[in-house]
A and B are shown apart, each in its own frame.
Chain A
Amino acid sequence: MSRDRDQKPVMPRPSGTFPPSEAMLAEPVPDEVQRVQQERLRKAWATPKGWRYWSAVNNSEVGVWYSTTALFFMLAAGVMALLIRLQLAVPENDLIPADRFNQLFTMHGSAMMFLFAVPMFEAISIIILPALLGARDMPFPRLSAFGYWSFLIGGVFVIGSILFDAAPNSGWFMYPPLATKAEGVGSDIWLLGLSFIEIASIAAAVELIVGTLKCRPPGMRVNIMPLYAWYVMVVGGMILFAFPPLIAGDFLFELERSFDWPFFDPERGGDPMLWQHLFWIFGHPEVYIVFLPSIAIAAMIIPTVARRPIVGYSWIVLSAVGTGFLSFGLWVHHMFTTGLPSISLGFFSAASEAVVIPTGIQLFAFLATLMIGRVTMTLPMLWIAGALAVFTMGGLTGVMLAMAPFDFQAHDSYFVVAHLHYTLFGGMIFPVIAGVYYFYPFIRKKKLSERLGRWSFWLIFVGFNVTFLPMHLTGLKGMPRRIYTYPEGIGWDWLNMISTIGAFVIAAGFAVFVWDLFRPKRGQGQVARNPWQAGTLEWSHEIPEEAWGVRSIPHVTSRYPLWDQPQIVERMDAGRYYLPDAEEGKRETLITSVIDAEPLQVQRVTGPAWITHAAAIFTGGTFIFPTFHVYPPAIVCGVLAVACILYWLWTSTARPPEADSKDVGLGLRLPTYASGPASAGWWAMWITMLGDATAFASVIFGFFFYWTARPDFPPDGAAHAEPLLVAIAAGAMAASWALTLWARGANRRGAVSLARGALVAAPLLAGVGGIGLIGSVWTLEPTSHVYPAILWALAIWVVVHTGVGVIMQVYCLAGSIFGKMTPRYDADIWNVSLFWHFHVLSAVVACAVMGFAPGVL
């Protein structure tokens, strides 16, 4: 152990044999050794008992909480749907007053999309991804736990508002001016509550992406990773680019709600269309963010039931990646009726038709697999079959709607409601339930009932069609969506009655399903270890359950290791593979290379903690207090949240290890510490910043959008940002960035005091930059017109990021002084300089826009 200021550190590299030879693998492990190793592993990974259970961070616990919570929100949103249907069952009904009705459909849609669909994907992935990859856990378990607690707090806050008659009521896409002018706190709850959850979603997405890139088992190259992992990567990437525009939109929207900055108010130069763009740049990819994970579940179930490898692996990868891209070129098809130029509409109509191709390819690959294989109609397969049928129908009506002239007719009618539920049930509900039936033996080590499963399938399937098939007709007969009642005798009555009856049949089906999930299953005995005879690694799980994930991390050489590598499970169990032990009693997992999964490092992962709860509570406070326009407590919460997060990072991430490298088994020795691109933390920073940069780009987009869309931007004779101060700000930021970078090099060279000097100067310069930027807009009046308002918004954005950057620089300085960061163990400053690369770029762009705009426009 060397914690002194060693000059010129020598970085240990992986050494020894890889890949392992058959002879090495065949060598038995003595029983006594196995027993001792098991003992130690069990202790290191033990789930806390009693009330401490809730401090667990293990992916198997957090994932189950996460998915149960998302299911609960889904059921709540379902109850709202039933109320909606009750109100619409008969004409001129007065069961629910108009405003309540508005709250109900807004909340139904918002909760289904934000509190159920996306979190459910992340929850299921948190549970199964590490197992699919033979990893012990996610790379950052405390981050998952933090994400979960944030989701819980934010979700309860948002959905609970309906009980207090305070829920948002402007529809799930919150169009201004309706939503900006709405009375009460409903819109604020939507904006701030959901922003909070979106940030948690992004955090989970970052973790999932890093998990697939860096935590695969040795030997699992990209061409043999499970298709599910490909989908996780694609969907994670989409979340990263789709959510930030919405967050940027929320940011502007909330500034308008709270401080009357007129971003969407046409009278003062704003434009409601900007919101529509930002919302749908998020909103359409969102549809695919919801849909692709379900396809991923199908891609796991289908080979198993067909008893053969999937047909067209590369084709499916192509369609996943292709859909991911194309789905970003569709957003304007939600805005066909807003009077955009017809060529523009043409682009989006064309792209909307093009996206059908990759979607179709996936379905055909599945059908081909099923046709070639020997299919057994298991329960999961039944649900998948239902999904294919329903989704195909939704796809057909979707192709119809993608043609702009048809959409002009059907827009905002019940035809659209029918279409969207066909795609959502076929593309999400049915496959997810299939996944629950399929993975339940893995998750709970019990089986669900075959009989109840068939009952609930037929109830939901029939009920669904009874509810939504007639709605196509209701829509074509002219019934608009979002109306709380309708007059008698225009041909809508009986159609609505049928839909309502169907809705209750769906509800009965869900009741059966949920009962089956939670009913006690004591008498059942143990399930078989691999009940479906599947080929992927998650079915090497242990029964009875062990918290360590995998006993030892296997060397994988095939897409279906359990089918093709006959002794793999036996050897995993015996601890023949990597990391079979926890000598230091710490939790560890393997980090491998991105493309070829060559072992690179042993990573310490974090254990149970309460700090994540504190961090989540205070972060929640930071978002929740401003909804009621009380700011001092929000600021206090913000400060405390930052303090909690710093404490958590300081005490448990990138600590200098006891020894530089360790033996991981099979004659391989790996370093225990990595910094820069070799480390998981650096990748997490990189990916997070990509999302952050997207949000920033969206605000910049807003600036140019106003310029193209509005003749009075900037208005004649408007005051501009003070150019000299803008220039000073840009220069100071650039200098601070350069110093940070230089400090990294100096520290690595062993010039520790020089590095510290630079880390003292850098935050000061950054401070000068921040003050300069605020000063440059100080005299502008943001409530008067959108031009000063957006300059202010840009300045705020950059200054807040500068604050984060300064905290990071000081964190490194403290690390250097207190021995957390040394020339050898310098992951922190690598991550911080990465942040600063992005930050300096956005600061310079913002300054350029603010400084040059008056001259150029």
Chain B
Amino acid sequence: MSEDRQKTRDGEVEEFAEEQASLWRITLSPLAWAAHFVICYGLVALSCAKGLPVESVRQGLIVFSVVVLALIGWIGWRAWRQWDVRETGDYLNQQGKAEDRHRFLGHAAFLLSIISFIGVVFVSLPLLLLEGCG
């Protein structure tokens, strides 16, 4: 990465054009975790309070957890592609260039997907291990 790939205003490389949305994009996986968390907590609380069939809610939520995990996995995979470390060999992305910024956001989103994945696994454990409203 020695040659200067700093873009100029006119010679913008399409791929690295300013990604207005990309700061939000790195929060997609954590948002998926948050949604999963709220739905699990809300549904269990609701069914315990209102006497709904907890057992089927629990099973439904386990399926739901798998879906969320798949979603996060997919987001993570895309982020991995964007980081593209195997191609560039650059783990740090520390230069003030459009390309580095692009890869960095991929890297951050990838790492956040991992942590969100673990988070969802953790939160799903009680669904597997505990039963009933107790």
Residues of A bordering B, CB below 8 Å: 17-19, 219-224, 309, 313-315, 317-319, 321-322, 325-326, 328-329, 340-351, 353-354, 357-358, 556-559, 593-596, 598, 708-709
Is the CB–CB distance between B49 and A357 below 8 Å?
Answer: no
Is the CB–CB distance between A341 and B134 below 8 Å?
Answer: yes
* B105 / chain A contacts, CB cutoff of 8 Å: 222-223
* B119 / chain A contacts, CB cutoff of 8 Å: 326, 329, 351, 354
B22, CB-defined interface residue at 8 Å: yes
Is the CB–CB distance between B115 and A322 below 8 Å?
Answer: yes
* A604 CA / B115 CA spacing, docked (Å): 42
Is the CB–CB distance between A222 and B20 below 8 Å?
Answer: no
B16 nearest CB neighbor, chain A only:
A596
Is the CB–CB distance between B118 and A354 below 8 Å?
Answer: yes
Is the CB–CB distance between B23 and A341 below 8 Å?
Answer: no
| Most chain A C-beta atoms within 10 Å of own C-beta, residue among B6, B26, B101 | B101
* A343 CA / B118 CA spacing, docked (Å): 18
A351 nearest CB neighbor, chain B only:
B123
Is the CB–CB distance between B49 and A708 below 8 Å?
Answer: yes
Is the CB–CB distance between B107 and A314 below 8 Å?
Answer: yes
A-B contacts counted at CB < 8 A amount to 149
Is the CB–CB distance between A219 and B134 below 8 Å?
Answer: no
Q: Assuming the A-B contacts A309-B94, A594-B23, are A223 and B100 also in contact, with contact meaning beta carbons closer than 8 angstroms in the complex?
A: yes
Q: Return the contact of A329 from the options B6, B19, B34, B92 (Cβ within 8 A).
A: B34
* A325 CA / B29 CA spacing, docked (Å): 10
Q: Assuming the A-B contacts A223-B93, A314-B93, A315-B111, are A343 and B33 also in contact, with contact meaning beta carbons closer than 8 angstroms in the complex?
A: no
Is the CB–CB distance between A350 and B122 below 8 Å?
Answer: yes
* A559 CA / B108 CA spacing, docked (Å): 16
B113 nearest CB neighbor, chain A only:
A318
B129, CB-defined interface residue at 8 Å: yes
A559 nearest CB neighbor, chain B only:
B94
* A805 CA / B29 CA spacing, docked (Å): 35
* A598 CA / B132 CA spacing, docked (Å): 56
* A322 / chain B contacts, CB cutoff of 8 Å: 30, 111-112, 115-116
Q: Return the contact of A325 from the options B30, B95, B129 (Cβ within 8 A).
A: B30
Is the CB–CB distance between A318 and B123 below 8 Å?
Answer: no
* A317 CA / B30 CA spacing, docked (Å): 13
Is the CB–CB distance between A221 and B127 below 8 Å?
Answer: no
* B70 / chain A contacts, CB cutoff of 8 Å: none
Q: Return the contact of A224 from the options B95, B127, B134 (Cβ within 8 A).
A: B95
Chain A to chain B: the 9 pairs with minimum beta-carbon distance, closest first: A346-B126, A223-B104, A557-B96, A318-B111, A325-B30, A342-B134, A350-B122, A341-B133, A221-B101
Is the CB–CB distance between B126 and A220 below 8 Å?
Answer: no
* A350 CA / B122 CA spacing, docked (Å): 5
* B133 / chain A contacts, CB cutoff of 8 Å: 341-343
A223 nearest CB neighbor, chain B only:
B104
Q: Return the contact of B96 from the options A219, A353, A354, A708 (Cβ within 8 A).
A: A219
* A321 / chain B contacts, CB cutoff of 8 Å: 26-27, 30, 108, 112
* B44 / chain A contacts, CB cutoff of 8 Å: 341, 343-344, 347
B45, CB-defined interface residue at 8 Å: yes
* B123 / chain A contacts, CB cutoff of 8 Å: 329, 347, 350-351, 354
Q: Return the contact of A18 from the options B9, B118, B130 (Cβ within 8 A).
A: B9
Is the CB–CB distance between B46 and A708 below 8 Å?
Answer: yes
Q: Return the contact of B34 from the options A319, A328, A595 (Cβ within 8 A).
A: A328
B74, CB-defined interface residue at 8 Å: no
* A325 CA / B41 CA spacing, docked (Å): 16
B40, CB-defined interface residue at 8 Å: yes
Known: A18-B9, A598-B9. 6 other contacts (CB 8 A): A219-B96, A224-B95, A309-B94, A313-B92, A342-B134, A595-B22
A686 → chain B closest CB, angstroms: 12
Is the CB–CB distance between A598 and B18 below 8 Å?
Answer: yes
B131 nearest CB neighbor, chain A only:
A343
Classify the secondary structure of B's interface with A: helix
In the complex, per-residue mask of B42-79: 1 if CB is within 8 Å of any chain A CB, else 0: 00111011100000001000000000000000000000
* B48 / chain A contacts, CB cutoff of 8 Å: 341, 343-344
Could you write out 13 A-B pairs with CB less than 8 Å apart?
A19-B6, A19-B8, A223-B101, A342-B132, A343-B127, A343-B130, A343-B131, A343-B132, A344-B45, A345-B126, A349-B126, A354-B119, A594-B23
A14 nearest CB neighbor, chain B only:
B9
Is the CB–CB distance between B118 and A350 below 8 Å?
Answer: no
A345 nearest CB neighbor, chain B only:
B126
Classify the secondary structure of A's interface with B: helix
A568 → chain B closest CB, angstroms: 12
* A19 / chain B contacts, CB cutoff of 8 Å: 6, 8
A701 nearest CB neighbor, chain B only:
B42
* A317 / chain B contacts, CB cutoff of 8 Å: 108
Q: Assuming the A-B contacts A321-B112, A325-B30, A343-B44, are A351 and B37 also in contact, with contact meaning beta carbons closer than 8 angstroms in the complex?
A: yes
Is the CB–CB distance between B96 and A224 below 8 Å?
Answer: yes
* A220 / chain B contacts, CB cutoff of 8 Å: 96
B109 nearest CB neighbor, chain A only:
A318
Q: Return the contact of A357 from the options B58, B96, B104, B118 (Cβ within 8 A).
A: B118
* A557 / chain B contacts, CB cutoff of 8 Å: 6, 95-96
* A593 CA / B19 CA spacing, docked (Å): 11
* A223 / chain B contacts, CB cutoff of 8 Å: 93-94, 100-101, 104-105
* B1 / chain A contacts, CB cutoff of 8 Å: none
A426 → chain B closest CB, angstroms: 23
* A674 CA / B61 CA spacing, docked (Å): 48
* A593 / chain B contacts, CB cutoff of 8 Å: 18
A556 nearest CB neighbor, chain B only:
B96
* A221 / chain B contacts, CB cutoff of 8 Å: 96, 98, 100-101
Is the CB–CB distance between B126 and A350 below 8 Å?
Answer: yes
Q: Assuming the A-B contacts A350-B122, A596-B101, are A318 and B112 also in contact, with contact meaning beta carbons closer than 8 angstroms in the complex?
A: yes
B106 → chain A closest CB, angstroms: 10
Q: Assuming the A-B contacts A321-B27, A321-B30, A341-B48, are A313 and B126 also in contact, with contact meaning beta carbons closer than 8 angstroms in the complex?
A: no
* A224 CA / B112 CA spacing, docked (Å): 18
Q: Assuming the A-B contacts A315-B111, A321-B108, are A595 and B45 also in contact, with contact meaning beta carbons closer than 8 angstroms in the complex?
A: no
* A343 / chain B contacts, CB cutoff of 8 Å: 44, 48, 58, 126-127, 130-134
Is the CB–CB distance between B34 and A346 below 8 Å?
Answer: no
In the complex, per-residue mask of B10-38: 1 if CB is within 8 Å of any chain A CB, else 0: 00000000111011001100110110010
* A807 CA / B100 CA spacing, docked (Å): 46
Q: Return the contact of B108 from the options A224, A318, A325, A709 (Cβ within 8 A).
A: A318
A667 → chain B closest CB, angstroms: 12
Q: Assuming the A-B contacts A219-B96, A350-B122, A357-B118, are A595 and B130 also in contact, with contact meaning beta carbons closer than 8 angstroms in the complex?
A: no
| Most chain A C-beta atoms within 10 Å of own C-beta, residue among B8, B44, B129 | B44
Is the CB–CB distance between A344 and B30 below 8 Å?
Answer: no
* A344 CA / B131 CA spacing, docked (Å): 11
B54 → chain A closest CB, angstroms: 8
Q: Assuming the A-B contacts A344-B44, A709-B49, are A313 and B30 also in contact, with contact meaning beta carbons closer than 8 angstroms in the complex?
A: no
* A696 CA / B73 CA spacing, docked (Å): 33
Is the CB–CB distance between A222 and B23 below 8 Å?
Answer: yes
| Most chain A C-beta atoms within 10 Å of own C-beta, residue among B30, B50, B58 | B30
B88 → chain A closest CB, angstroms: 14
B104 nearest CB neighbor, chain A only:
A223
Q: Assuming the A-B contacts A223-B105, A329-B123, A344-B41, are A313 and B94 also in contact, with contact meaning beta carbons closer than 8 angstroms in the complex?
A: yes
* B46 / chain A contacts, CB cutoff of 8 Å: 708
* A358 / chain B contacts, CB cutoff of 8 Å: 115
| Most chain B C-beta atoms within 10 Å of own C-beta, residue among A314, A329, A557 | A314
* B45 / chain A contacts, CB cutoff of 8 Å: 340-341, 344, 708
Is the CB–CB distance between B115 and A357 below 8 Å?
Answer: yes
Is the CB–CB distance between A347 and B112 below 8 Å?
Answer: no
* A354 CA / B121 CA spacing, docked (Å): 9
